[in-house]
Amino acid sequence: MSVAAALVERAASASPLIVQDAMSELADADELQFREEIERYPDPLVDIPRFIDGKELVRKLAFSLHEAGISPAGEIVELGAGTCWLSAELARRPEVRRVRAVEFSERRIRSLAPVAIAHLGAQADKIERHVADFYAHGLEPGIADFVFTDAAFHHAADPARLVRVAWDLLRPGGCLVLFREPTIARLRRTRDHGEEGEHGDFEREYTSREYLELLSDGGFLPERYTASGGWTTPRARAILHPPLSWLNGTLFAEYTYVGRRPAIG
Ligand SMILES: C[S@@+](CC[C@H](N)C(=O)[O-])C[C@H]1O[C@@H](n2cnc3c(N)ncnc32)[C@H](O)[C@@H]1O
């Protein structure tokens, strides 16, 4: 067995796995089938690190947290965690006690997540993997200091309900972070949904205003911060600085959304 495979095996046995069978009526059967049977990961030991590093996910997260002035700590829940790379990256922080990663694809969370955890060198026993529908996660209310989504909020068939799910999970004063959720730009109204688009209709598109309204309608104090599209190309680097950064809302719409649950109420 290679060293990488041994580290993955160790992560898989150290990270608790809890399977919740009941799904809500909102869990998308097409997406679940896509994740379980169609999506291809021919060599997860190569594919998952390539996905994390190729998309510069760790650096993008650090940038967004810095922009938003957020230091994740305590108890965290990630909804729609997929490969769990974000849960793993947050678990690396000593101030984070535990991350509960909720994902309805058992294949993703059982076999792909340990690769991300091992690749990022996270402490696997701090990451509790929950195979569960994010509308019916089975977790206790008020347990989280932070709730995160990474490119998963826009997969919710009922986004207002998912905002309520996050609200209920958070303690008063807690914070919901919507990271890498695609935003419709003023001059770019639609996105190509790639292979996902061929197997269902589970990706939605929202304007920046719609994300902020969803948060405020759910009781959160909504905030929006510029996010990074990456650093590898000159274009991606250029949009982080004036004058191109002034066109973010018109052309690129790279944002992170934050909802703060008031400490009282
Ligand atoms: C675009 S992926 C992003 C996942 C993760 N951030 C990553 O990079 O691997 C969206 C994720 O949401 C999950 N998802 C969609 N609907 C869900 C539901 N009802 N409950 C739990 N997870 C769900 C999908 O299975 C998928 O893993």
Q: How confident is the model at residue 215 (pLDDT cuts 50, 70, 90)?
A: very high
pLDDT band with cut points at 50, 70 and 90 for residue 25: very high
d(CA 144, CA 141) in angstroms, rounded, equals 8
Of the chain, the percentage scoring pLDDT greater than 70 comes to 100
**Mutation to probe ligand 1, out of 105, 130, 133, 191 (largest number of atoms < 8 A from CB):** 105
**How many CA within 13 A on the CB side of residue 32?**
15
Under 8 Å between Cβ of 224 and 256: yes
Q: What is the pLDDT of residue 264?
A: 81
Residue 175: per-residue pLDDT: 98
Task: Look at 126-135, 173-182, 236-245 and tell me which has the smallest mean pLDDT.
Answer: 236-245
CB atoms within 10 A of CB 118: 25
pLDDT score of 32: 95
Residue 105 CA: nearest ligand 1 atom is: 25
The token pair that represents 252 in the structure block: 């690129």
Ligand 1 atom nearest the C-alpha of 86 is 6
Protein residue whose Cα sits closest to atom 25 of ligand 1: 105
Q: Tell the CATH superfamily of the 3-260 domain.
A: Vaccinia Virus protein VP39 (3.40.50.150)
Domain ranges of the chain: 3-260
pLDDT digits (tens, 9 = 90+) for 149-178: 999 999 999 999 999 999 999 999 999 999
Distance 264 CA to ligand 1 centre (A): 31
Atom number in ligand 1 closest to CA 81: 5
Q: For residue 83, give the ligand 1 atom closest to its CA.
A: 9
pLDDT reported for residue 18: 97
* Nearest residue by C-alpha to atom 2 in ligand 1: 152
**Ligand 1 binding pocket, CB closer than 6 Å:** 27-28, 31, 35, 80-83, 85-86, 102-105, 108, 133-135, 150-152, 155
Gap between the Cα atoms of 107 and 131, Å rounded: 9
